[in-house]
Amino acid sequence: MNKLNLDLKKIAQCRQAAEEIATTILSHIEPYTTVTIERAVCRLLGIDGVDGFDVPLPNRLVDDVLKNNTLEMGISRHIAGALKDTKLSLEAFLAQYATDQISIIHHSLPSAEETRAILEPYYRQSFAKIRKNKQERERYLHMYVTPKTQLYVICATGNIHEDIIQAKAAAEQGADIIAVIRSTGQSLLDYVPYGETTEGFGGTYATQENFRLMRQALDQKSKDLGRYIRLVNYASGLCMPEIAAMAALERLDILLNDSMYGIIFRDINMQRTFIDQHFSRMINAYAGIIINTGEDNYLTTSDAVSEAHTVLASQFINEAFAKKAHLKPEWMGLGHAFEINPEIEDSFLIELAQAEMAREIFPDAPLKYMPPTKHISGNIFRAYMQNTMFNMVTTMTDQSIHLLGMMTEASHTPFLSDRYLAIDNAKTVQKALHSFRDEIIFQPDGLIVKRAHEVLDHAVEMLEDIKARNLFEALETGMFASTRRGRDGGKGLEGVIKKHRSYINVISDILEEELR
């Protein structure tokens, strides 16, 4: 459907520029690994648990090898060497290692072929589980009808058991997607907490056990309601690949997994982020997990009218990185948001132009559309009005993943009643405007069409400019979200390791082989 008569040559030019931008970045990062990628390798070999001091075993293994200055060879070779020298199974080795009876270092490092042979029984078991999870999800989706626009709400109390109660209530009220937002600051932790958690700040810790508990609860609720309830968490921050691995193992359906969000909004080193996002997205591609990107956040720090083209440019870049990681279009939940100041004349039409443009440029993507937050105050009646307009644009432009706005945004964590009202609002609008998109056409020389063309033109210019410079420099000069970040600044650069020529990563090898 092409209501805006967008210039297809310009869209193709954007994609070509974004592809070249992503290719340049990948050529820069290919010689490097990170500590969290190596920990994700451990997790996908089946390594879990903590030692006597509650240090996660993946962290301890990688840290020991890092201190020995041999992580450049890859954790795969060290684990394979330890199993070969000790003649122990991985489980038996870990039992002794966790109690300081044995070391991961000072073992001979086997060849690439021998490393893969020694570790194959372990990674094959994890990959078999991930494939089974994907098949189970597909079985549910085949069994139950998936709405064209899925209603997405957040449940996050800090206590996973309270979250489960709230998530079940939201599903009963009509939510299709449940996100468990992470505890404040978890993205800056360079480890993943272990086990179920009952205390968090502004959210609930993302742990594998918490993933398992919520997935189990939502599966039961899916059967009770006769529709599949999708589960979301956040694969961003310093542990992006590990969370992707845990999500694949526990059958999460959607992960917030942006290529630049952590750089811009969490001041995580850009080199670390680009390396981690590529590996994490390969895991997502293998598991069939939809990614959500974070362009909606750009408009919280920059003007939604004058900087709208930065959202589109970023969507093209995120799409290009996703393709490099073998993600299919139907797994690319590219983000955008309803963040224009409602006091601006024709703000609704400008929002409609942006949303329709995204829908037409990325027709196969399950776009994630975010509600108004920047211009929401403590006036709940005004917030409810703004959310109604947001719901109207969502329905009128066939957005796929519809994150509902709460009338108590900026006031407090939503009550169950707030969430109910948000769902009821969205469902009422969906019903009232059910066939609107099929009925409406836009004036060829009208405001909506002109606005969309203007944004696309600026996105072409921006992407060509970034291609001429490179994305590192674009981020250094603050081209996105009016925020400058240094190439060697931010958190996590010390966790970037240059690979030795004999480096081995059995997980990335198998992912590349099977996804290609």
Q: What is the pLDDT of residues 355-384, one digit of tens each?
A: 999 999 999 999 999 999 999 988 999 999
How many Å apart are CA 283 and CA 243, to the nearest integer?
Answer: 10
Question: Is beta strand 150-154 parallel, antiparallel or unpaired with respect to 177-179?
Answer: parallel
Q: Tell me the percentage of the chain whose pLDDT exceeds 70.
A: 100
Question: Which are the contacts of 53, defined by CB distance < 8 A and separation ≥ 6?
Answer: none
More confident residue, 411 or 400: 400
DSSP-assigned letters across all residues of 296-358: GGHHHHS-TTTTHHHHHHHHHHHHHHHHHTT--GGGEE-EEE--S-TTSTTHHHHHHHHHHHH
| pLDDT at residue 82, as a whole number | 98
Give me the sheet containing 401-403, strands edge to edge. 332-333, 290-292, 254-256, 230-234, 177-179, 150-154, 401-403, 368-370, 335-337
Tell me the sheet residues that pair with 232.
Answer: 179, 254
Query: Please, which residues have CB within 8 angstroms of residue 121's CB and are 6 or more apart in sequence?
Result: none
Residues in contact with 461: Cβ distance below 8 Å, sequence separation at least 6, in sequence order: 309
Instruction: Give the dihedral sign, CA 288/289/290/292.
Output: negative
**Quick one: pLDDT band at residue 282, thresholds 50, 70, 90?**
very high
Specify the pLDDT at position 67. Answer: 97
Neighbours of 98 (CB within 10 A): 17
pLDDT for 100 beyond 90 = yes
Q: Using the predicted structure, report yes or no on whether residue 507 has a pLDDT greater than 90.
A: yes
Q: 């240059």: which residue's tokens?
A: 498
3-state secondary structure of 233: strand
Query: Does residue 151 sit in helix, strand or coil?
Result: strand
| pLDDT, position 416 | 86
Residues 6+ apart with CB under 8 A from 145: 227
- CB-CB neighbours of 423 under 10 Å: 19
Nearest to 281 by CA among 318, 244, 231: 244
Q: How do beta strands 150-154 and 335-337 pair?
A: unpaired
| Token representation of residue 24 | 């340049």
Region of 105 on the Ramachandran plot (φ > 0 left; ψ -120 to 50 alpha; else beta): beta
pLDDT tens for each residue of 446-459: 999 999 999 999 99
* 481 φψ region: left (φ > 0), alpha (ψ -120 to 50), beta (else): left
pLDDT attached to residue 206: 97
pLDDT per position as a tens digit, 331-344: 999 999 999 999 99
Residue 1 has pLDDT above 80, yes or no: no
C-alpha count within 13 angstroms, C-beta hemisphere, residue 290? 23
SS3 492: coil
Q: Which residues pair with 74 in a beta bridge?
A: none
pLDDT in tens, 59-78: 999 999 999 999 999 999 99
Q: Residue 52: what are its φ and ψ, rounded to 5°? A: -65, -15
The mean of the pLDDT values for the chain is: 96
pLDDT at 378: 87
- Model confidence at 472, pLDDT cuts 50, 70, 90, reads very high
pLDDT at 300 over 90: no
> In the structure, what pLDDT confidence band is assigned to residue 147 with cuts at 50, 70 and 90?
very high
Residue 292 parent element (H or E): strand 290-292
- Which residues lie below 8 Å from residue 346, measured CB to CB, with a gap of 6+? 447
| Gap between the Cα atoms of 360 and 294, Å rounded | 19
* Domain spanning 1-30+307-485, CATH class: alpha beta
**Residue 103 three-state SS:** coil
Catalytic residues: 261, 296, 368
The predicted model scores a pTM of 0.96
Question: What local confidence, expressed as pLDDT, does residue 409 receive?
Answer: 86
- 110 and 118 in contact (C-beta within 8 Å)? yes
CB-CB contact of 266 with 231 (8 Å): no
Question: pLDDT tens across 167-225, in order?
Answer: 999 999 999 999 999 999 999 999 999 999 999 998 999 999 999 999 999 999 999 99
Q: Among 42-46, 316-320, 414-418, where is mean pLDDT lowest?
A: 414-418
- Which tokens is 12 given? 């193709």
